[in-house]
Amino acid sequence: MTETPAKSKRALTKRATATAKTKTRKKNVPSPPAAVGSWEDDPATAVGLTVPTPNLSKLPLAFSFPAGGPPPAIYAQGTSQFRYWATAAALRRGADYWANRIPLTQWYGGPNLNVVLDTGFGLDATYDRTALNFFHGPGVTGTVFTCESPDVSCHEVGHAVLDAFKPGLWGAASQEVSAFHESFGDISALMSAIQIPSLRTAILSGSGGNLYTTSRLSRLAEQFGSALRAQDPGLAEADCLRNAVNSFNYQDPTTLPSAAPMSQLSSEPHSFSRIFTGAFFEILGVSLAAKAAIPGGPTEAELLAVADDLAGFLVQGVKCSPIAPNWYAQVAANMVIATQTDQTYASIAKGVFVGRSILSLHSVSSLPMMSNVKSLAAAAKSATAAREPLPLVALPASHYGIDGVLFVEAAAEPLNSIVSAAGFKAEPIDPPSAIAAARAFVDDLFMRGQIDYGAVVDPERRLVRNHKTKTHALVKADGGARLERRLFSCGLCARGVIH
């Protein structure tokens, strides 16, 4: 049957009305923005970045942000909405990077890690096993929000990742272990920044292809560093918080002062961390130059590939190493073993670790050959099996104001092999015993005012310094007290600065 003109007109009108309603409904349903604003590395460099909206609930390393956050969008820099998504983007990038390289199923405390964007007044950022806590404080040109810097937030992610991966390091009474936690945080910031193609290109272009030179990649947390220097010039390096390009060589931390200006080396964890961070970044720079297809002209893709390789060697080094007082030498030795699948990497890693005295010549020459990847995996499994918790040792404690003894977790896991750092004349140096290392570590904490006495020590017997952030606490125990770590703090402890 042929449709009449009148019926055809009514049908067309009906279809047009339905189409218009459908379009109206589609217009009224907002689609989520595809991107948010962030920084490439630090607010001080003022290089903005637009990234896809991060999935904060992504497993295995999910984040729980404060409820009622702003919807994803490109917000003006300097606003609270911008800080929210800038922090989210940086944290997601850092967590995703390590989740792809470490077989993690969740954070130490569970599938979600809380994020507190502004805990309160202070120049600090902390990780306490349940949350990443950021603060705000006075800066040179205005208020500094520590969450806003990807360098700072990805550093804190590094603490959380390492804790999930190697939880025995958390409570170890060892200066080197504590410093390595800070170094891993800085390496986390470096590796997370290298994931950004525009940053890789800019760094290589600005350095003429020489990665191991000071740049906005090597200069970590410039804004935070300037804020600390405004309080005390000795609390940060001259142009940033810490620079991965440095000339610090290994020294036995038990022979160093407990605190010193950042132009010098001390046993304070952030200060001492620069030895390992500098070695890692130097290996990265030399390896990139050696691996580049065009000598002197590495590409950003080559930088990404070499960085990924070294991150893998680092993960193997941490996984295979027993927790011991000479933790730096243990990790370095196992990194060298991991690199033996590639002679170029192996020669460079050995050269840098020996050059910085982290490993002695004798240790490098006597390392076992383990080029077989399966053998390395088996060693890693053996090294991490049934090694928690660390043994408790009792230290004399009357000089701390404690009645009885002080129980601490000693870095005293069984060693797989004997390795050592080197002295000033390249001679191997014997590491301190686990008890001596623990005593030096605890002495430092009391001298820097980082211990919460709680109800263990009477007020008249306490040592008081102007440091609000307490990384450790005393807990009553049979026979005396026990030392427990509360958190890792990004704020420097030197000279009793108020955070």
Give the model's confidence band at 31: pLDDT under 50 very low, under 70 low, under 90 confident, else very high: low
CA-to-CA separations, 135 to 88, 142, 312, 358, in angstroms, rounded: 15, 14, 32, 35
Residue indicated by tokens 């906005």: 216
Write down how long the chain is. Answer: 499
Distance, in Å, from the CA atom of 254 to the CA atom of 421, rounded to the nearest integer, reads 13
Kind of pairing between the strands at 125-127 and 488-489: antiparallel
Of all helices (H) and strands (E), which one includes residue 126?
Answer: strand 125-127
The predicted-structure confidence for 145-181, as pLDDT tens digits, reads as follows 999 999 999 999 999 999 999 999 999 999 999 999 9
The predicted-structure confidence for 241-296, as pLDDT tens digits, reads as follows 999 999 999 999 999 999 999 999 999 999 999 999 999 999 999 999 999 999 89
Distance, in Å, from the CA atom of 215 to the CA atom of 220, rounded to the nearest integer, reads 9
User: In the predicted model, is pLDDT for residue 494 greater than 90?
Assistant: no
Distance, in Å, from the CA atom of 229 to the CA atom of 41, rounded to the nearest integer, reads 20
Q: Which two tokens stand for residue 332?
A: 């370095």
Q: Which pLDDT belongs to residue 168?
A: 97
The region that residue 415 occupies, defined by phi over 0 for left and psi between -120 and 50 for alpha, beta otherwise, is beta
CA-to-CA separations, 289 to 297, 299, 350, 496, in angstroms, rounded: 8, 10, 16, 42
Q: Which pLDDT belongs to residue 34?
A: 79
The predicted-structure confidence for 178-231, as pLDDT tens digits, reads as follows 999 999 999 999 999 999 999 999 999 999 999 999 999 999 999 999 999 999
Beta-bridge partner residues of 114: 64, 131
Q: Which pLDDT belongs to residue 389?
A: 87
Distance, in Å, from the CA atom of 2 to the CA atom of 263, rounded to the nearest integer, reads 93
Nearest to 450 by CA among 411, 406, 486: 486
Q: Which pLDDT belongs to residue 381?
A: 53
Distance, in Å, from the CA atom of 452 to the CA atom of 471, rounded to the nearest integer, reads 8
By the 8 A CB rule, do 339 and 345 touch?
Answer: yes
Q: Which two tokens stand for residue 35?
A: 């991107």
Q: Which pLDDT belongs to residue 119?
A: 95
Q: Which pLDDT belongs to residue 425?
A: 87
Beta-bridge partner residues of 126: 133, 489
Distance, in Å, from the CA atom of 438 to the CA atom of 430, rounded to the nearest integer, reads 16
Q: What single letter denotes the amino acid at residue 408?
A: V
The predicted-structure confidence for 319-372, as pLDDT tens digits, reads as follows 999 999 999 999 999 999 999 999 999 999 999 999 999 999 999 998 876 444
Dihedral, CA atoms, 334, 102, 285, 126, nearest 10 degrees?
Answer: -100
Going 179 to 260 to 450 to 496, the CA torsion angle's sign is: negative
Rounded percentage of the chain residues whose pLDDT exceeds 90: 83
Contacts of 161 (CB under 8 A, 6+ apart): 61, 94, 95, 98, 102, 104, 184, 188
Q: Which pLDDT belongs to residue 465?
A: 82
The predicted-structure confidence for 395-409, as pLDDT tens digits, reads as follows 999 999 999 999 999
Q: Which pLDDT belongs to residue 4?
A: 42
Distance, in Å, from the CA atom of 226 to the CA atom of 241, rounded to the nearest integer, reads 7
Q: What single letter denotes the amino acid at residue 48?
A: G
Q: Which pLDDT belongs to residue 324?
A: 97
By the 8 A CB rule, do 87 and 134 touch?
Answer: yes
CA-to-CA separations, 463 to 126, 402, 406, in angstroms, rounded: 23, 12, 16
Q: Which two tokens stand for residue 254?
A: 């038990």
Distance, in Å, from the CA atom of 240 to the CA atom of 225, rounded to the nearest integer, reads 5
